[in-house]
Amino acid sequence: MELENIIFDLGGVLLKLDFQATYTRMSDILSIPFQPDQLSPEIHKLLTDFETGSIGTEVFIWNLQRMATGKVPEGNQIAEAWNAMLLGWNPQIFDMLERLGKHYKVFLLSNTNALHLQWIHNNLRIRFGISDWETQFFYNTYYSHLIGYRKPNPAIFKFVGEKEQLIPQKTLFIDDLQANIDGASESLWHTYLHNPEEDIVKIIESELSLL
């Protein structure tokens, strides 16, 4: 496989996640069931709208506040609960990304939102002194809430492919969700389904032999 481009997902690949932490915290502060199999169609739409940038942070928080069945939580409480899923980084990934960038065009393609991205920037700056995440480690970055598409919609892969003029046969996409892998496959990209329990640095070095 002759590669020119490597496209990383963020959460579950580069950034450690614990979705249950957010489900639990949200359930507690809103006093409603906030588990994947219990979310109402209204909440599902709200989450999708936030991830595609159709609504901003204030509208997102206000809508969650009005769903509370007990004491209405403060906006900062909702933000903290929403970000509870974000656990942090294996510091070795920064070196990995810099090394990859010497041989490939490295991209980031993430379903995310304004609150999560704010946390990411703050965390990187405070913990690692990194203030230029997008330009230091990536040729370009694509966040769902900024471009209006989210994975696994085939349109997002078409959008990135056309904007970057990617050659599909020379492009590798790494994600932790099968649905997203399937979406990328429709654009004829090479794909790798990553297990979040495994170390992406070791996978890149050994199984994929890219370093």
Across the strands, what pairs with 89?
Answer: 15
Positions in the chain short of pLDDT 70 = 1
C-alpha dist (Å) from residue 49 to 57, 84, 106, 149: 11, 20, 28, 10
Residues 6+ apart with CB under 8 A from 75: 58, 61, 65
Reported in sequence order, the residue ranges of 14-104 that DSSP labels E, i.e. its strands, are: 15-17, 86-89
Domain residue ranges of the chain, discontinuous segments joined by +: 5-16+90-207, 19-85
Residue 23 has, within 13 A of its CA and on its CB side, a CA count of 11
3.90.105.10, 3.10.110.10, 3.40.1280.10, 3.40.50.1000: CATH of 5-16+90-207: 3.40.50.1000
Reported in sequence order, the residue ranges of 13-155 that DSSP labels E, i.e. its strands, are: 15-17, 86-89, 105-110, 140-143
Instruction: Please tell me the predicted confidence (pLDDT) of residue 59.
Output: 97
Asked if the domains 5-16+90-207 and 19-85 are classified in one and the same CATH topology, the answer is no
CB atoms within 10 A of CB 121: 15
Asked if residue 208 lies in contact with residue 192, where contact means CB atoms within 8 angstroms, the answer is yes
Q: Indicate the SS3 state at residue 172.
A: strand
Across the strands, what pairs with 143?
Answer: 110
1.10.150, 1.10.530, 2.30.30, 3.30.200: CATH of 19-85: 1.10.150
Q: Indicate the SS3 state at residue 177.
A: coil
Instruction: Please tell me the predicted confidence (pLDDT) of residue 211.
Output: 82
Residues in the chain: 211
Q: Indicate the SS3 state at residue 33.
A: coil
Asked if residue 34 lies in contact with residue 23, where contact means CB atoms within 8 angstroms, the answer is yes
